[in-house]
Structure 1
Amino acid sequence: MRSGGGLYPTARAVLLMAAGAPVALIVGVVAPALWTIGFAWMLLVALLLAADAMLAPGRAKVTADLSVPGSASVGSRIEATLRLSARTRVQSAIDIDDRLAAPDGVRRDLDGDGGTPIALDTIRRGTGHISALWLRWKGPLGLIWNQRRDDRDHAVLITPDLRPVREDSQLLIQQAITGETARREIGTGSEFQSLVQWQAGMDRRAIDWKQSARHATLLAKDWQIERNNQILLAIDAGRAMAEPLGGVPRVDRAVTAALLAAYVALKLDDRVGLFAYAEQPIVSSAISLGIHSFPTLQRLAAGIDYGTREANHTLGLTRIAQKLDRRTLIVLFTEFTDPTSAELMVRACAPLLARHLLMFLIYRDEELENLAAAEPTEPEDVTRAVAAQALLRERAIVAARLKRMGVHIVEARHDTAGTALVEAYLGLKRQGVV
């Protein structure tokens, strides 16, 4: 930890020094022989400054301990705590980056009694840093500021907001388990579980005629959803996904939906991995089994930054294909922006479909829909409506091409996208497609 600082006069010292000028002027006019009094005054103030600097506590004796929570969800409020080591009044300030905000300011007055809290709001996902701690204190005469700057490296891992995951996942998991327990139809799973007595209302295609003849009673096959499936959640973190949707960047909404899907899949004993890319791959996790791997996925998801360049879909999807060694459900969170990037993405998807199952989560752009549907009142409204309709048409064309190729498309509002994705995933499991 590097430190630095220095000594400089207080406002009192400046006023005291400046007060000698008019006194010296008056003395010089009234009694010219006593003109040296002005220099004596300045010398006296200089001596007082030196004495105050010597009597003030040294920098080694004035230190402060800064404790900061290691992680927090985006949009929450945390508290950093400052504890002073010296019994003197000290002014402090901290340097924070743009992922953190201090609603009450970053400056505090410390007096050595207990800890002093500093409220911090987490406003962006990623890793927020407190890079420096500033301390300054006066001498006993109040003429000198003694200041020090300590370089710090306090990191706050700002994770996605998991409240939607906690609120929605339990109901979705319960529905999946209930549906699995009460299943009595063929085609709702891919693994044979047992033979059961056929009952009225069951699908007749479930009857095992060979075993029924052997046991002289109607028996039906009961199926269960296949477990240990492999799922890769791939997030496009390019420039288009940094654009806001409903006041929140698309990539943040994608991360929240991906974590909800990961939590449900891990609870249902499937294997889940996380991949993110922009112009280059950003995050690539192992495909893990068990709910104990969810904190790792959460930590990696927090490190997906906001892209400033176009996503390289060809490179990203090629790396995904190289990463997978068995049939996998690949869920891609992306956005269609222009025909060129969409065409490259469609071409990159074709090799994956030969071996894997591909699903796209696309957010409905309600702003474009409203612009296209708004009744024009001015010529500019017509231009905006035509442009919005053209963008929506391009999105629809790309989505239709992907569907014809065999890609599963989930298009939903931003506030229901996570639930819609999980329901589509559970539907594929029940059909035995995954």
Structure 2
Amino acid sequence: MIYPTRRAVAVMAAGAPVALVAALAAPHLWVIGAAWVLATAGLVLADVWLAPSPRGLRLSLTAPGALGMGAPGEAVVEAAFRGPRSPKLQVALGADARLGVEPARQTLRLGAEGDGRARMRLIPRRRGQAVFERLWARWRGPLGLAWVQRTDTLDQRTAITPDVQGVKDEALRMFTRDAPFGMKAQIDTGEGSDFNALKEFQTGMDLRSIDWKQSARHAKLIGREYRTERNHHVVLAIDSGRLMCSPLGGAPRVDRAINAALLLAFVSLKLGDRVRLFAFDAKPRISSGAAAGAQAFPLLQRLAASIDYTAEETNFTLGLNTLSGQLDRRALVVVFTDFADPTSAELMIENVARLLRTHLVMFVAFRDEELERIVDAAPETPEDVSRAVIAASLLKQRELVVSRLQRLGAWIVEAPAGRLGVELVNSYLAAKRRDLL
């Protein structure tokens, strides 16, 4: 693309007063204006001719494969001329609405070899797969009268994930011996059901671990040491339908579910279990294989980032039956979903009950603190009373659904959004200690 610079426009505009004065003084001199315009246009074309060719420019973009929400990143644009070159050029990077790019345009000065690089700040705005759509570069000719612009169409993607660094920090805090919630999140020995070794009984060990036959043989108390079982299957089933995309505490429910799911995935992989990610709304969207080892966490992170927001109603029958058909052994199925009333939850309960015949199901429920605040607030107007009555009715209906799930045998993990991940991990560890997986 070629277009005039401000200097060219100013030069052409400067000829207008001269042509006007000449035409007023001698009408036959009107051709001066036309000659000025033609001369300026000729200079612009000459500037284009002398400018470096767009074909001689090589552009490349280096961007991170994944970014976490709230954690800006950096993209590097590299430019290099082959043959004649311009001393500087301007570059701009275009991305979709999920990703902001700052600055919008940056001037790049080329070195002696005709190459240079520009660094641009990437600001994640919305979770999902962000697409870099276009890369622009433009430079002026030696006369400064014309811009020569090149536009490259891109299809480079960056996964915008939840706050993964926050997930890892939370997991590492839980893995320490002085965890703030009073529970050791990783204990390889002493917390499982697989026999590991015999050791001399020490204060603090469970009395039930004493091996009386070995104690009699050695004339001292000998205890059995157990280790945590490994290689269990943990399935993270995330509902991404309309209700899960509604906000809770300033963030969509599905984002909070993904944060909690990634925290559980991180801990499960560290403890040697296999983790599978499954997402569904009106139909199944994502179904990964069972991943093992800490090195599999980035894969789960990228898959979680691809769970998009949707306005479709959730089809529990299709989603959970598809998941059930993919599981060939007993697993811990963690269901992240939400419901509006007992009627809409009926199909969900029916399909969760079908899963419970073979698998251990943890149902993750968000405590709606906004409704609780409305119920607890002192009413000041009749409208406040109406709101409190409606909120209390919604909470009562929610409790009925949760109670039905508990009677069916599902584990209920209900917590405020900020503590959901921690409570979920604690429930997972409790299930492992009780050998329910």
**TM-score of the two chains, using structure 1 as the length reference:** 0.87
The answer on whether the counterparts of 1:173 and 1:267 sit within 8 Å (CA) in structure 2 is no
Contact kept in structure 2, 1:72 and 1:157, CA below 8 Å: yes
Q: 1:323 Cα shift? A: 0.9
Deviations 1:226-251 (A, max 9, x none): 33222111111112222222222222
User: How far did residue 290 of structure 1 move?
Assistant: 2.6
Pairs within 5 Å for 1:400-415: 400-415=403-418
Q: Which structure 2 segments of 5+ residues have no match? A: 178-183
Match of 1:97 in 2: 96
After superposition, the Cα gap between the structure-2 partners of 1:397 and 1:257, relative to the gap in structure 1 and judged at 3 Å, is same
Amino acid at match of 2:155: D
Amino acid paired to 1:307: T
For 2:72 and 2:108, the matched residues in 1 are separated by 22
Q: In the TM superposition, what is the alpha-carbon distance from 1:332 to its structure 2 partner?
A: 0.8
**Structure 2 CA distance for partners of 1:202 and 1:19, relative to 1, 3 Å:** closer
Q: Does 1:358 align with 2:361?
A: yes
Partner of 1:141: 143
Amino acid aligned to 1:419: V
Counterpart CA distance in 1 for 2:128 and 2:204 is: 53
Partner of residue 110, structure 2: 112
Equivalent residue for 1:3?
none
Aligned equivalent of 1:279: 282
- In the alignment of these two chains, the number of paired residues is 423
Q: Structure 2 residue aligned with 1:391, among 379, 390, 394?
A: 394
Q: Mark the CA change 1:64 to 1:230 in structure 2 (over 3 Å): closer, same or farther.
A: closer
Provide closer, same or farther for how the CA distance between residues 93 and 164 of structure 1 changes in structure 2, counting only shifts above 3 A.
Answer: closer
Residue pair 2:275, 2:292 contacting (<8 A) in 1 also = yes
Runs of 4+ in 1 over 6 A off after TM superposition: 194-221
How far the C-alpha of 1:334 sits from its partner, in A, is 1.2
Q: What's the CA shift string for 1:76-111, capped at 9, x where partnerless? A: 111112233243332221111112113x43211122
Among all aligned residue pairs of Structure 1 and Structure 2, give the percentage whose two residues are the same amino acid: 48
Deviations 1:126-157 (A, max 9, x none): 22221111122222222222222111222222
* Kept in 2: contact 1:225–1:432 (CA 8 A): no
Partner of 1:166: 168
Structure 1, gaps ≥5 residues long: 1-5
AA paired with 1:137?
A: W
Structure 1 CA distance for aligned equivalents of residues 233 and 64 of structure 2: 34
How many angstroms apart in 1 are the aligned matches of 2:333 and 2:97? 33
State the Cα deviation string for residues 315-361 of structure 1 (Å, max 9, x = none). Answer: 11101110111111111111122333311101111111111111111
SS in 2 for 1:416: helix
Q: CA deviation at 1:254?
A: 1.3
**Counterpart amino acid of residue 375 in structure 2:** A
Q: Is the 8 Å Cα contact of residues 52 and 86 (structure 2) preserved in structure 1?
A: no
1:233 maps to 236
CA contact (8 A) 2:69 2:160 kept: yes
Deviates more, 1:373-382 or 1:112-121: 373-382
C-alpha distance after superposition, 1:353-384 (max 9, x if no partner): 11111111112111221122222333433333
| Cα distance, 1:375–1:196 mapped onto 2, change above 3 Å | same
Alignment of 1:233-312 (within 5 A): 233-312=236-315
- Tell me the C-alpha RMSD between the 2 structures: 2.9
Amino acid aligned to 1:57: P
SS of the equivalent of 1:35 reads helix
Q: Identify if the C-alpha distance between structure 1 residues 418 and 42 changes in structure 2 by more than 3 Å, giving closer, same or farther.
A: same
Moved more, 233-242 or 283-292: 283-292
- The structure-2 alpha-carbon separation of the partners of 1:52 and 1:344, relative to structure 1 and needing over 3 Å to count, comes to same
- 1:8 Cα deviation after fit: 1.7
**Residues 215, 137 of structure 1: alpha-carbon distance in 2 compared, 3 angstrom cutoff:** closer
Secondary structure at the aligned position of 1:337 is classed as coil
The residue aligned with 1:81 is: 76
Q: Residues 304 and 177 from structure 1, CA distance in 2 versus in 1: closer, same or farther, beyond 3 angstroms? A: closer
1:123 aligns with 2:125: yes
Equivalent residue letter for 2:128 = G
